[in-house]
Structure 1
Amino acid sequence: MSSAEETGDGEPGGRTHTGSLAHRVPELGALELLLAVARLGSLGGAARHLGISQPAASSRIRSMERQLGVALVDRSPRGSRLTDAGALVTDWARRIVEAAEAFDAGAQALRDRRDSRLRVAASMTIAEYLLPGWLLALRAQRPDTAVSLLAGNSSAVARRLLSGEADLGFVEGVSVPAGLDSAVIAHDRLIVVTAPGHPWARRRTPLAARELAETPLILREKGSGTRQVLDAALGGLARPLIELSSTTAVKAAAVGGAGPAVLSELAVGEELSMRRLVRVPVADVSLARDLRAVWPTGHRPTGPARHLLSLTRSQRS
């Protein structure tokens, strides 16, 4: 008596159930082929129905028979007929294929739900001056996707992504917030601006970086990408003259003559051209910065988020 028979384990002949289920159960395509043979009564007809060659179909049936250890199809010049074992396996296969179809339908429903909305979180400069164009391009290509935009500073963008409140984010700080992966999607530069009546507007020499660092400025709040970049570039800042929570508010205060400000070039093009603001050159400091798309580490954007990310790159190029 074999050890399998003595213990009651395994199958007659010493066969045991080893390995994963995927190695013991035929693949879905083979089961679909067997169902087609049962329905059409011909291996050739089943092959044509599934869009494969007859030799490939024969090979798939033989492989399944070897895997199961039983003959499934009797082949003859008059066609193909299921064996008794083949008829039984076909009944089981039908249930598996029906379950797979239900699985596929459910997965498609999940994709449809995912693709029906996109939640974007963006820091203020990007939200005000770049995202509108990107979202218009996305709407032209995906009109059925509803987009919601959450604007805030770079720290708030990171929190929303990590808490699952947003699908894709855009930031403008010095570094990538912890827990996020990123891709550079644009470049920007911060510039010093004042109203035309400010003494700096009449300077004949560039402003020294030290003087800028020691001067109270109209600034964004702590946590904003603009303030992070400026603080890092100057090695520290004086106490703010005014602290405001949006680029538009900082710009309005500067235009009104409240004092000098440091803003993105993207934000002040119109004001500079109309002389409502004057650019003040600064010596010995670089205020260039990268603008980045961000998402939770290890979770590459999919669906509409991936599409929007590709649009930012195409418009950059």
Structure 2
Amino acid sequence: MSSDGPPDDAHAPLAHRVPDLGALELLLAVARHGSLGRAAREVGITQPAASSRIRSMERQLGVALVDRSPRGSRLTDAGALVTDWARRIVEAAEAFDAGAQALRGRRDSRLRVAASMTIAEYLLPGWLIALRAERPDTAVSLHAGNSAAVAERLLADEADLGFVEGLAVPDGLEGAVVAHDRLVVVAAPSHRWARRRGPLTAAELSATPLILRERGSGTRQVLDAALAEQGGLAEPLLELASTTAVKAAAVSGAGPAVLSELAVTEELASRRLVEIPLDLTPLARALRAVWPTGHRPTGPARDLLSLTRG
């Protein structure tokens, strides 16, 4: 066989022995039009590029496919046979593409979000309204829980995208920071701390029973880490499962609480709660979007992630 023929190794990868779809579509266009120039225009390339692609395909297969003359381009006998095979390959590829589009449509028709309480209550509504404007046909379901529960749902494939508030990305997940937050100590105006002249020390905060979120929440993680040198937190005065419940208990005068600054903006402005100054490093934290390691968000989850950064 001449050096222009196909490789002798019949066991080479199929992709090295079979022309790509673009070349096969070009050959079908030549068969329809009887002209390399018109075929090139149909597939959106220049005539020299089309000629080069046909020659490359002929070298790959080891046979002449097209006879070129001033009157146009005509398939050789081998070219006509290859064209019949090419038609079946292209039809199969079209069926494959239609199936893939159907899968994408099914994926894009829903979005399952899991978010920790503060993000679910104070940030996600705005992001989801913006997503609705971009994807009106996507049905969104939201599960709100603590950061540990969010991680569990993602790892169990019960959510497509999660949002957490802890100090770090949970094991088995990767993520991106989408916002920052600060925890504040608050109390009702009637509480004795509201009349303090000096800031609250870490030792005082550590020794005082507080109204707190449950273990596993991002708020609790940050507070535990900040007071670790003081021996940790005292036994909670109340331990509640939602930011709203903690806030309501603090407003009622039950005791002081530690909450996201996002959650108490209105209460501080109306003086239903008072922020207690702290004599320790600010209780800052990053708010993150998270997803299972190696499975970066696609479709509506990717779009929602983009909106959080806007």
Partner of 1:239: 235
In the TM superposition, residue 296 of structure 1 has moved relative to its aligned partner by 0.7
Partner of 1:113: 106
Partner of 2:58: 65
Q: Are 1:265 and 2:258 an aligned pair?
A: no
- Contact persistence 2:64–2:79 (CA under 8 A): yes
Task: Tell me the secondary structure at the aligned position of residue 264 of structure 2.
Answer: helix
- Contact persistence 2:6–2:59 (CA under 8 A): no
Residues 305 and 253 of structure 1, relative CA distance in 2, 3 Å threshold: same
Partner of 1:53: 46
In the TM superposition, residue 151 of structure 1 has moved relative to its aligned partner by 0.3
Give the Cα separation in 2 of the matches to 1:183 and 1:85: 56
- Contact persistence 1:209–1:285 (CA under 8 A): no
- Contact persistence 2:6–2:61 (CA under 8 A): no
Q: TM-score, normalised by structure 2?
A: 0.95
Partner of 1:301: 297
Q: Are 1:311 and 2:304 an aligned pair?
A: no
Partner of 2:163: 170
Question: What fraction of aligned residue pairs are identical, expressed as a percent?
Answer: 81
In the TM superposition, residue 262 of structure 1 has moved relative to its aligned partner by 0.3
Code of the aligned partner of 2:70: P
- After superposition, the C-alpha distances for 1:35-84 in whole angstroms (9 at most, x for unaligned) are 11111111111111112111111111111010000111111111111111
Residues 120 and 13 of structure 1, relative CA distance in 2, 3 Å threshold: closer
Q: Of residues 116, 124, 128 in structure 2, which corresponds to 1:123?
A: 116
Partner of 1:6: none
In the TM superposition, residue 140 of structure 1 has moved relative to its aligned partner by 1.3
Which residues of 2 match residues 173-212 of structure 1 at below 5 A? 173-212=166-205
> Which sits farther off after the overlay, 39-48 or 249-258?
39-48
Task: Tell me the secondary structure at the aligned position of residue 91 of structure 2.
Answer: helix
- Contact persistence 1:123–1:224 (CA under 8 A): yes
Give the Cα separation in 2 of the matches to 1:199 and 1:128: 30
Partner of 1:4: none
Code of the aligned partner of 2:136: P
Code of the aligned partner of 1:168: L
Which aligned segments of 4 or more residues in structure 1 are displaced greater than 6 angstroms? Answer: none
Code of the aligned partner of 2:99: G
In the TM superposition, residue 200 of structure 1 has moved relative to its aligned partner by 0.7
Question: Which structure 2 residue ranges, 5 or more long, are not aligned?
Answer: none
Aligned residues: 303
Which residues of 2 match residues 18-29 of structure 1 at below 5 A? 18-29=11-22
In the TM superposition, residue 13 of structure 1 has moved relative to its aligned partner by 11
Task: Tell me the secondary structure at the aligned position of residue 153 of structure 2.
Answer: helix
Q: Of residues 2, 14, 27 in structure 2, which corresponds to 1:34?
A: 27
> Which sits farther off after the overlay, 171-180 or 73-82?
73-82
Partner of 1:5: none
Question: Which structure 1 residue ranges, 5 or more long, are not aligned?
Answer: 1-11
- Contact persistence 1:194–1:254 (CA under 8 A): yes
Give the Cα separation in 2 of the matches to 1:88 and 1:18: 23
Q: Of residues 283, 286, 291 in structure 2, which corresponds to 1:287?
A: 283
- Contact persistence 1:233–1:286 (CA under 8 A): no
Q: Of residues 270, 275, 279 in structure 1, which corresponds to 2:271?
A: 275
Give the Cα separation in 2 of the matches to 1:136 and 1:86: 56
Q: CA RMSD for the aligned pairs?
A: 1.4
Q: Are 1:152 and 2:152 an aligned pair?
A: no
Give the Cα separation in 2 of the matches to 1:220 and 1:15: 70
Task: Tell me the secondary structure at the aligned position of residue 189 of structure 1.
Answer: strand
Code of the aligned partner of 2:167: V
